[in-house]
């Protein structure tokens, strides 16, 4: 037993840092959240206050929409990339994983280059239709940014799980006369379900909590992280910022816990 005890002691430094710089600050956040004029009821403000509630609904809606779109796009591209061999495939896969390490601010800038006032889409539509299409600085831009951020991650997950599929199952289905679409619907997609659900949940949690992209595009978009930021810095409403942060943290944590229970380890929000 002394060996085990000695091994456990080695986790103490990490735990001490965690307690001092995460647990205590979170406890403080929790207390500050209840210190406003409304007391502990401010934890309900996210549903009782019309403004915060709208912010919550639009953040959840945006994140859910991004997750569904990302998963659909990544399934089509990911299955294709894993199943087919053609010249340039390796380069294509590496190019598509480039944005993996981009922080939210850089993603925001990419959206501005595409859909901003001097962006590519604006330039193209101005030439073609005499009308400049600019949508970077609002919900649509944010949607695009989160797609940009999430697609590389989910494509990698899809490719890894397609690789692990048993080809015998598909061959069996095909030999029984199933069409390609039937094989995809009844064999491939059900087998990929754990990966789909978990990467969707990671997308959702990441989009809920992401701050950098929204901050780069416009500080007035009505999403929860920006609402929290504005309450804290512009209105010095620490109590409200704290309670909203706790609520947001609980939502992302719950989404990731769900993802992990469905797909095992390796799940984390990024960026």
Partner 1 sequence: MTRRPARYWLQLAFTLLVCAFLVVPIVMSILAGLTTNYFVGIRSGLTLRWVHEVWELYSETIWRSTWIALACLGCTLLLGIPAAYALARVQNRWTRLIEELLTLPIAVPGLATALGLVLLYGGWRDFRASWLFILVGHVLFTLPFMMRSVLAVMMAVDLKTLEEAAASLGASFRKRFMTIVLPNVRPGILAGSLMVVTLSMGEFNLTWMLHTPLTKTLPVGLADSYASMRLEIGSAYTLIFLLMIVPLLVALQWASVRAQKG
Site for partner 1 in 35-74 (CB under 8 A): 73
**Closest approach of partner 1 to the CB of residue 144, in Å:** 9
Of the CA atoms within 13 Å of residue 203, those in its CB half-sphere come to 33
Pick between residue 99 and residue 194 the one whose CB is nearest to partner 1. Answer: 99
> Is 179 near partner 1 (CB under 8 A)?
no
CA distance 147 to 235: 31
Q: Which of 252, 199, 220, 237 is nearest to 141 (CA)?
A: 220
Query: Among 8, 128, 176, 236, which residue interacts with partner 1 (rule: CB under 8 A)?
Result: 8
Q: DSSP letters along 74-104, please?
A: HHHHHHHHHH---TTHHHHHHHHHGGGG--H
- Using the contact rule CB under 8 A, the part of the chain among 42-50, 61-69, 108-116, 189-197 near partner 1 is 108-116
Q: Is 206 helix (H, G, I), strand (E, B) or coil?
A: helix
- Using the contact rule CB under 8 A, the part of the chain among 48-56, 124-132, 165-173, 250-258 near partner 1 is 250-258
**Closest approach of partner 1 to the CB of residue 115, in Å:** 10
Binding mask 202-241 for partner 1 (x = CB under 8 A): ---x--xxxxx--xx--------x--xx--x-----x--x
> Is 200 near partner 1 (CB under 8 A)?
no
Site for partner 1 in 133-152 (CB under 8 A): 147-148, 151-152
- Using the contact rule CB under 8 A, the part of the chain among 49-57, 61-69, 114-122, 188-196 near partner 1 is 114-122
Pick between residue 54 and residue 89 the one whose CB is nearest to partner 1. Answer: 89
Query: Among 13, 37, 87, 167, which residue interacts with partner 1 (rule: CB under 8 A)?
Result: 13
Please check whether residue 270 is in contact with residue 153, taking contact to mean a CB–CB distance below 8 angstroms.
yes
What's the count of helices (H) and strands (E) in the chain, helices before strands? 15, 0
**Cβ neighbours of residue 216 under 8 Å, at least 6 residues apart?**
104, 105, 107, 108, 109, 111, 112
Please check whether residue 125 is in contact with residue 131, taking contact to mean a CB–CB distance below 8 angstroms.
yes
CA distance 233 to 230: 5
- Using the contact rule CB under 8 A, the part of the chain among 43-51, 53-61, 97-105, 163-171 near partner 1 is 97-105
Cα dist from 166 to 79, 108, 187, 191, 267, whole Å: 14, 40, 10, 9, 24
**Closest approach of partner 1 to the CB of residue 51, in Å:** 18
> Is 262 near partner 1 (CB under 8 A)?
no
In SS3 terms, 255-268 reads as HHHHHHHHHCCCCC
- Using the contact rule CB under 8 A, the part of the chain among 16-24, 36-44, 61-69, 127-135 near partner 1 is 16-24
**Closest approach of partner 1 to the CB of residue 21, in Å:** 5
- Using the contact rule CB under 8 A, the part of the chain among 2-10, 46-54, 166-174, 190-198 near partner 1 is 2-10
Pick between residue 22 and residue 53 the one whose CB is nearest to partner 1. Answer: 22
């Amino acid at each position: 037993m002394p060996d085990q005890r000695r091994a456990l002691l080695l986790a103490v430094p990490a735990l001490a840092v965690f307690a001092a710089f995460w647990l205590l600050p979170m406890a403080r956040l929790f207390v500050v959240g209840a210190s406003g004029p409304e007391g502990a009821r401010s934890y309900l403000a996210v549903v009782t206050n019309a403004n915060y509630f709208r912010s919550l609904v639009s953040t959840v809606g945006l994140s859910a929409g991004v997750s569904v779109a990302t998963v659909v796009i990544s399934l089509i591209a990911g299955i294709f990339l894993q199943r087919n061999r053609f010249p340039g495939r390796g380069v294509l896969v590496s190019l598509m994983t480039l944005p993996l390490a981009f922080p939210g601010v850089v993603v925001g800038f990419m959206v501005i280059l595409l859909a901003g006032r001097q962006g590519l889409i604006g330039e193209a539509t101005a030439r073609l239709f005499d009308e400049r299409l600019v949508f970077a600085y609002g919900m649509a831009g944010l949607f695009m940014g989160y797609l940009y951020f999430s697609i590389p991650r989910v494509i990698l997950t899809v490719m890894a799980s397609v690789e692990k599929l048993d080809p015998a199952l598909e061959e069996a289905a095909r030999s029984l006369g199933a069409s390609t679409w039937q094989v995809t619907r009844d064999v491939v997609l059900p087998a990929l379900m754990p990966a789909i659900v978990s990467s969707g949940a990671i997308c959702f949690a990441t989009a809920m909590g992401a701050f950098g992209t929204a901050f780069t595009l416009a500080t007035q978009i009505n999403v929860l992280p920006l609402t929290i930021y504005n309450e804290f810095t512009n209105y010095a409403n620490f109590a409200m910022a704290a309670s909203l942060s706790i609520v947001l943290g609980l939502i992302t944590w719950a989404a990731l816990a769900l993802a992990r229970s469905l797909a095992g380890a390796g799940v984390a929000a990024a960026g």
